[in-house]
């Protein structure tokens, strides 16, 4: 494996700075064979690590990010970062996942757009971005790449795989496909498959991108115009599923954005505060994400189905000795609690060790990312990791 590190343009004495790393996995001669039957290689993986790997190499925790996340889970990459990583309140010294004790790895997913090989990466065969030629990928493909990264770091077994939403699907895939590679699995606001309603929202979001006049069949790299309107609309649609009715009512209600009276305009789309909020989310998303990546990753999420891919869950999860922590949220309607309970029932039938908690939160699906919710999550995850660590077999 070839490893490179991106230099930091900031004061190296700043303790919050983290190093961005890249690994080159697979090759053109020995590529990754994808679930769709096509091959891909070489593959670059963007990742970050926190803490130190111990001499036994058994204190590694792999964090699987959600749909639009990336490897920058905590800290700041440089002094100009507007904000720290997306789980900075949860990952770090003395936090829910304690980097004073554990070696934390977070890698951008295959097909992403934050440094790991994806549609916006250069195709070595053509010297141009892959664009629409980038192959169809699945959650299994994503995990295979990350498992190879873990191998390259000299780690035989993870202390834990942790993830929420699409990240939780990856955790399930780790447990089912590589049962000997994880000592524990932590699933947050996730499920064994996306509901028909979830697929429907993803479908509308993709259609918004595909019908954007600037999409150009996915060949928009280097153009003056990109499918930013379609991608922004896709994000607005998806963001509705991440919230709850209670959260929307509490935060926005029917309050107007700037006026005391209605303007009675069909073209004014930010008159209500909720409209302005969704518009802002869409515009910010376009600044950091790629439309072709969004198409592929939402489709990977749609296709994931534990029972179709691995057979009945009690049987597919029986091979792992991993301990499980499963957490759901009361107002999450994208992955409602019943989906978590179904996983728990399967684990009980398989005779696996499982802890389940439904947390009360007004924040909907995004609760596991909300700063105010992290202390409660830490009170579950921290002792769970401690117990897993204490119970590890040691020579």
Concerning whether 363 is annotated as a catalytic residue, the answer is: no
332, 340, 346, 361: which is the annotated catalytic residue? 332
Number of residues written out for the chain = 395
Does residue 343 contact residue 312 with C-beta atoms inside 8 Å?
no
Distance CA 199, CA 212 (A): 20
Separation between Cα atoms, residue 17 and residue 160, nearest integer Å: 24
Nearest to 48 by CA among 11, 80, 83, 8: 8
Task: Provide the phi-psi class of 271: left if phi over 0, else alpha when psi is between -120 and 50, else beta.
Answer: alpha
Q: How far is CA 230 from CA 50, 106, 275, in A?
A: 36, 29, 16
141, 309, 365, 366: which one is catalytic? Answer: 365
Residues 6+ apart with CB under 8 A from 279: 232, 236, 269, 270
Matching residue, tokens 């390259």? 152
Q: How far apart are CA 129 and CA 62, in angstroms?
A: 29
The token duo for 110 is: 């295959």
**Phi, psi torsion values for 303, nearest 5 degrees:** -75, -20
- Asked if 32 contacts 26 with a C-beta cutoff of 8 angstroms, the reply is yes
Closest CA to 62 of 46, 40, 84, 47: 47
Determine which helix (DSSP H) or strand (DSSP E) holds 354, and give its type and residue range: strand 354-359
Please tell me which residue in 71, 121, 165, 184 is annotated as part of the active site. Answer: 165
Dihedral in degrees, nearest 10, Cα atoms 199, 200, 205, 207? 110
Q: Is 365 assigned a catalytic role?
A: yes
Cβ(362)–Cβ(339) below 8 Å: no
* Residues belonging to the active site: 165, 332, 365
């Amino acid at each position: 494996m070839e490893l490179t590190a991106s230099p930091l343009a900031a004061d190296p004495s700043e303790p919050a700075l983290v190093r961005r790393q890249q690994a080159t996995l697979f090759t053109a001669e020995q590529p990754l064979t994808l679930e769709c039957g096509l091959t891909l290689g070489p593959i670059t993986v963007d990742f970050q690590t926190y803490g130190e790997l111990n001499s036994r190499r058994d204190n590694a925790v792999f964090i699987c990010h959600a749909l639009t996340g990336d490897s920058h889970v905590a800290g700041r990459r440089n002094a100009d970062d507007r904000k720290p990583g997306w789980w900075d309140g949860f990952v770090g010294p003395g936090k829910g996942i304690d980097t004073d004790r554990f070696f934390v790895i977070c890698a951008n997913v295959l097909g992403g757009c934050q440094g790991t090989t994806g549609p916006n990466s250069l195709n070595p065969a053509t010297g141009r971005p892959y664009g629409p030629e980038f192959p169809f990928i699945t959650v299994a493909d994503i995990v295979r790449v990350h498992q190879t990264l873990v191998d390259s770091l000299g780690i035989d077994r993870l202390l834990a795989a942790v993830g929420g939403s699409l990240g939780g699907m990856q955790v399930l895939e780790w447990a089912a496909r590589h049962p000997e590679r994880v000592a524990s699995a932590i699933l947050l606001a996730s499920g064994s498959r996306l509901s028909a309603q979830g697929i429907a929202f993803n479908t509308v979001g993709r259609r918004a991108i595909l019908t954007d006049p600037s999409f150009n069949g996915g060949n928009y790299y280097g153009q003056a115009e990109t499918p930013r309107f379609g991608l922004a609309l896709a994000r607005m649609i998806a963001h509705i599923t991440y919230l709850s009715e209670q959260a929307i009512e509490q935060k926005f209600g029917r309050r107007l954005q700037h006026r005391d009276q209605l303007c009675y305009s069909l073209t004014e789309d930010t008159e209500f505060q909720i409209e302005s909020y969704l518009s802002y989310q869409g515009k910010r998303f376009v600044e950091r994400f790629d439309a072709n990546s969004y198409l592929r990753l939402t489709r990977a999420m749609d296709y994931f189905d534990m029972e179709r891919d691995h057979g009945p869950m009690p049987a597919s999860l029986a091979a792992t000795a991993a301990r499980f922590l499963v957490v759901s949220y009361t107002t999450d309607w994208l992955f409602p609690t019943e989906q978590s309970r179904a996983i728990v029932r399967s684990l009980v039938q398989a005779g696996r060790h499982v802890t389940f908690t439904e947390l009360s939160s007004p924040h909907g699906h995004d609760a596991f990312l909300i700063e105010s919710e992290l202390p409660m999550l830490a009170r579950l995850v921290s002792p769970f990791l401690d117990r897993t660590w204490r119970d590890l077999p040691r020579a």
